[in-house]
Chains A and B, each alone.
Chain A
Amino acid sequence: MSAPALALDGVRYLHPQTRSWLPWAHPRGKATGVEEVSLTVAAGTTLGLIGESGCGKSTLASLIMGDRVPQAGQIALFGTHLSQRLGQGRKALARELQLVAQDPFGSMDPRQAIGPQLVETLDVHDEGASTPERRDRALAMLVQVGLSEVTYDRLPHQLSGGQRQRAAIARALILKPKILVCDEPVSALDVSVQAQVLNLLLDLQQQMALTMVFISHDIRVVGHMSHSLAVMRAGRIVEQGAAETVLAQPRHDYTRTLSAAVPGRISRAVPKLVPQLEVVS
């Protein structure tokens, strides 16, 4: 059996607490971060992370991306330790592992058009034999994420929220990474636009055999996108398992509370008299 795409074992990272100036006094506030986190993600599947604010989701995302070094435990990508990969340079890691974040503006240069930014990514990684070839690949990527070719010359602020997020996805995937971490990718979008971006991610996962780690505060979104789910609370994983069972038959009290709080019991329980998409006049 091949190694899982992503494996975390006993990972710990606690943020430094504010220390009182008196040398003997206890540090103020609770320690935040993650502790004792062990997870595996099979290749080509999606792991969803659910938890409320302050549970450590973002810290975990930064640990997986290699932005932070665990204070204890190991993170492995396809069997190789992350620290080893980082030792080979960030560029090497970028070909395996990419991030899509909540605010697409944050990851894009506001003064450069979309197309050239994609080409630049290829440039930096010495992908593609020549500039025209890189341009072609950039265009192909834009089409693959559902944007029209004219987007190539547009600046980020000229696009709608959904289009910007697609562009961010294009930039993340142009190097054909094997693992994609999505940290609140649709939180800032309207429901209808959200659906389009989620559909896109599902399509791309199939087309590119992507492994995904999907983080969102919206449990319905995570539940829809994931094969397996992990529930986080106060920096620890309290429950994990197949997506269908974790929410439907929660074992841990906290998961039960979370699941009960998710709105939609009525909508889900009521049989639909009208088929989903057709317009009935």
Chain B
Amino acid sequence: MSLLALENLNVAFPSRNGLLQAVKSVSFAVDKGEILGIVGESGSGKSVTCLSLVGLLGHGSQVSGTLSFDGKTNAIADLPRLSHGQRPSIGMIFQDPAAGLNPVRTIGSQIAEVLRFGRGMDGAAARRETIALLDRVGIGEPDARFGAYPHQMSGGMNQRVMIAMALAGQPHLLVADEPTTALDVTIQAQICRLLRQLVKDTGLSIIFISHDLDLVAQLCDRVAVMFGGHLLETQSARDIVAAPRHSYTQALLAAIPGHQRPRTRLGVITDQMRAGFLDRGEAA
């Protein structure tokens, strides 16, 4: 039994030119302790898909589809209206860690408030647990750092704080929307190592979104490829790179530098090709 099963998600936004379909009939499943990667370029619908899982889609959107999580099934459209206790236990971290933290409050307080309101802890217990969480995500001198402000810490550290904040809610699944895109490559590697460690230690499941196919193939167990609001194919990380089934995935691999001989032309994706990706009936 999977931890999460998304069935037939459709998301549309009203725009000046009528209804804009951002996500079309997307379904996937995630097992306990698994890292699923979602790869796509801008406009592929990957972020919107994940926002729908945590009930963060704006008021104007039209949503349909169901989410089965931990044995309970909900309509996606109902998720924003559920109280926190009734929602699926899913946490989320975002791309720009500094922008995701309130600049005028200490990072400790921003983690502790989750513990106080979500787990009913009192001030002292919340502080202890916050320091433990900061330690768990690899932040040195956690008691000193409790009173630090986001602008006093580096991007990598702030992202660790965001992870700690998400973990404070004891989620069964963590959705990570491009968490390392704004970070240096060595810090990116550290954060990915941390995420893998958390999965190993606690059985946490992760959905990792990125535009970087290499990164996703390296970090994740399975990879799903999205384009134009559709989910084109899902395979194991190894297979998505070794034997991609969809022409878009193949074209993407040909376009990424690093796979070819240096200073040779990279594969291109023309508009003609783009038009053809969706009508081959290859969607898996």
Contact = CB atoms under 8 A, between A and B. Distances in A.
Interface stretch (B130-138, B141-149, B158-166, B181-189): B181-189
A257 interface: yes
A274 B243 contact: yes
Interface string A206-221: 0000000000010111
Interface string B232-257: 00000110011110010011111111
Interface residues of A, number: 45
B257 A190 contact: no
Contact of B265 (A199, A217, A226, A262): A199
A192 interface: yes
Contacts of A243: 262
B185 A223 contact: no
Q: Is the interface of A mostly helix, strand, loop or mixed?
A: helix
A196 B186 CA distance: 27
Interface string B191-227: 0000000000000000000011111011100000000
B213 A227 contact: no
Interface in B260-280: 260, 262-269, 280
A266 B217 contact: yes
Contact of A191 (B41, B188, B265): B41
Nearest to A264: B214
Given A190-B42, A196-B268, A264-B218, A274 B185 contact: no
B259 interface: yes
B242 A273 contact: yes
B60 interface: no
B18 interface: no
Contacts of A270: 238, 241-242
A220 B254 contact: no
Given A192-B41, A261-B188, A263-B212, A202 B257 contact: no
Contacts of A199: 265-266, 268
Interface string B23-42: 00000000000000000011
A261 B242 contact: no
A58 B255 CA distance: 27
Interface residues of B, number: 42
A212 B190 CA distance: 32
A272 B252 CA distance: 13
Interface in B29-87: 41-42
B214 A192 contact: no
A195 B254 CA distance: 9
Contact of B258 (A52, A202, A223): A223
A258 B187 CA distance: 10
A260 interface: yes
Contacts of A225: 257, 262-263
Given A220-B258, A265-B218, A274-B250, A52 B268 contact: no
Nearest to A276: B254
Nearest to B281: A281
B262 A223 contact: yes
B266 A258 contact: no
Contacts of A244: 262
B259 A192 contact: no
